[in-house]
Structure 1
Amino acid sequence: MSIPRTSRDESPLFAGPLAWTEDLTVRFGRRTVLDRVNVAVQPGEVVTLIGPNGAGKTTLVRAVLGLVAPDGGRVLRRPNLRIGYMPQRLSVDQTLPLTVRRFLALWRPVTADRVEAALEEAGVTRLADSAVQTISGGEMQRVLLARALLGEPDLLVLDEPDQAVDVHGQAELFNRIAQVRQRRGCGVLLVSHDLHTVMARTDRVVCLNGHVCCSGRPEDVSRHPEYHALFGGHARDLAVYVHHHDHAHAEDGKVVSEHDGGCCHG
């Protein structure tokens, strides 16, 4: 997908994608990990990458971030694009005395107000003075979301944000991500293995297995032959629907507040 470059005031570049790839190819040695992949993320859009282990999802994310150089094709980003990145995991030395508040201030100069605002947006204000080593896996994912928000991103890149999170925590985490997208108008590029959660929590699904097998709206992808071939018989039984509920869950599954939210199941 080529986007012509004209003047800033009339260029589609500034009305089009935040980041996109054109025939992106990445090789590790003799192995082709990504083969002519074309993906784009628009402002305010949630694009989810799904696929089996080794499909190239994290490699694609790292290429979008500029951490992996293409062997063919290219990655393009809107000028001055601000990206907030949430990695799969982040190890913290168990002997290091570090509160969540201090943890968030390690990577860039930030004011106390900005840290508080990011914690509130991620729903973990109560953890501000907790030691990072003592919080749960689900809580750590929320803290990493707060860390990604500190840079005021135009594009959020989330690599398996729902790992180490139980089903109630997943629903609440994805509610938070949806609220961030709506409030900020940022794009979201998301990697996930949880088809039940993903299918009802995204605008567009890209089914990846070294190449783009299929892509489109969740309900369309769920019926695509390539999707069924990739995920096997259980994919045929995957129903795609969304229902809304009037409460939120803490990481332990307890109801903590009422709101107009939504959760998804397949």
Structure 2
Amino acid sequence: MTALITSKKLTIHRPGTSEPVLHDIDFSISPGEIVTVVGPNGSGKSSLIRALLGHMPLVSGMISRRKELRIGYVPQQVQLDRTIPMTVRRFLSLPHWVGAETIADALARTGVAGLEARQLTELSGGQFQRVLLARALLHDPQLLVLDEPTQGLDQPGMVGFYRLIEDVRNQTGAAVLMVSHDLLVVMRSSDRVICLNGHICCEGTPQDVGNAPEYRALFGAEARGTLALYRHHHDHDHDHDHGPQHDCAEHG
């Protein structure tokens, strides 16, 4: 299957400097795949996302995207002016009008049906993340991009959100590209993991990456037990037209 986004020898610098933040990145994501990018702080995870979305200039290399690729994006942080009242319905209708039925369907799909009239400032952290995900789903994306979407959630909230991502992928067939610092839950949801530290240290299945010496050297004791908690055995194909077909077992 043709990749949705591909990069070859991608190199980018930190803004306003000649210091490379990432170099020689070869990357691709295929329809229906869940790819998670991990790495220590400052390793270039969010920079990779911004570059792939066209929001950072390239020093060298190239990026290609499928023609008319529809992308839904959940950013790492959303700054809200709490002095301005705004309902969930209004938030999901910006900057372009969206029909009530479409909004209701997106909220139901992300597990927060009926929140249309609620003020954004009244939502819990978990509810707000699901509203952001609903917003990203409004226009039937082929690729969902999530930059540390569980930041600020407790561990049960993280696990619930990652399960939701899997459900969305299964229902829609959309690929998912996700940046995460939550090592204890990230492995459960991923078809492929990429470990960054300015370059790609290692990549592969969750089990391959979890056993890689480069991964263990970066995360040390934090990496121990990750796979034991959330190991995801894969025995499925990703069908672009009908979504992924699963026969998966999880062990905890």
**Shared fold (TM-score, shorter chain, > 0.5):** yes
Matched, 1:167 2:193: no
CA contact (8 A) 2:89 2:103 kept: yes
- Give the deviation of 1:234 after TM superposition: 3.3
Q: Who is 1:89 aligned against?
A: 77
Matching residue's letter, 2:172 = R
Q: Who is 2:3 aligned against?
A: 17
Q: Who is 1:228 aligned against?
A: 216
Matched, 1:218 2:213: no
Q: Who is 1:41 aligned against?
A: 29
Structure 2 unaligned blocks of 5 or more: 233-247
Residue among 150, 157, 173 paired with 1:185: 173
Secondary structure in structure 2 of the residue aligned to 1:164: coil
CA contact (8 A) 1:154 1:186 kept: yes
Listed as ranges, the matches of 1:62-101 within 5 Å are: 62-101=50-89
Matching residue's letter, 2:103 = V
Aligned residues: 235
Matched, 1:57 2:79: no
CA contact (8 A) 2:188 2:231 kept: no
Kindly provide the CA deviation profile for residues 137-176 of structure 1, in whole angstroms up to 9, marking residues without a partner as x.
1211111000100121000000011111122221221111
CA contact (8 A) 1:26 1:72 kept: yes
Matched, 1:125 2:113: yes
Q: Who is 2:244 aligned against?
A: none
Matching residue's letter, 1:172 = G
- Give the deviation of 1:265 after TM superposition: 8.4
Distance (whole Å) between structure 2 residues aligned to residue 224 and residue 237 of structure 1: 14
Matching residue's letter, 2:63 = V
Matched, 1:204 2:192: yes
- Give the deviation of 1:242 after TM superposition: 4.1
Distance (whole Å) between structure 1 residues aligned to residue 229 and residue 152 of structure 2: 24
Structure 1 unaligned blocks of 5 or more: 1-14, 245-261
CA contact (8 A) 1:47 1:205 kept: yes
Query: Percent sequence identity over matched residues?
Result: 47
CA contact (8 A) 2:126 2:153 kept: yes
Q: Would the alpha carbon gap of residues 94 and 263 (structure 1) be closer, same or farther in structure 2, given more than 3 Å must change?
A: farther
Q: Would the alpha carbon gap of residues 264 and 160 (structure 1) be closer, same or farther in structure 2, given more than 3 Å must change?
A: farther
TM, length-normalised to structure 1: 0.84
Kindly provide the CA deviation profile for residues 18-68 of structure 1, in whole angstroms up to 9, marking residues without a partner as x.
111111100121210011111111100000000011010001000111111
Distance (whole Å) between structure 2 residues aligned to residue 26 and residue 154 of structure 1: 26
Taking only aligned residues, the RMSD between alpha carbons, in angstroms, comes to 1.9
Q: Who is 2:139 aligned against?
A: 151
> More deviation in 30-39 or 207-216?
30-39
- Give the deviation of 1:69 after TM superposition: 1.5
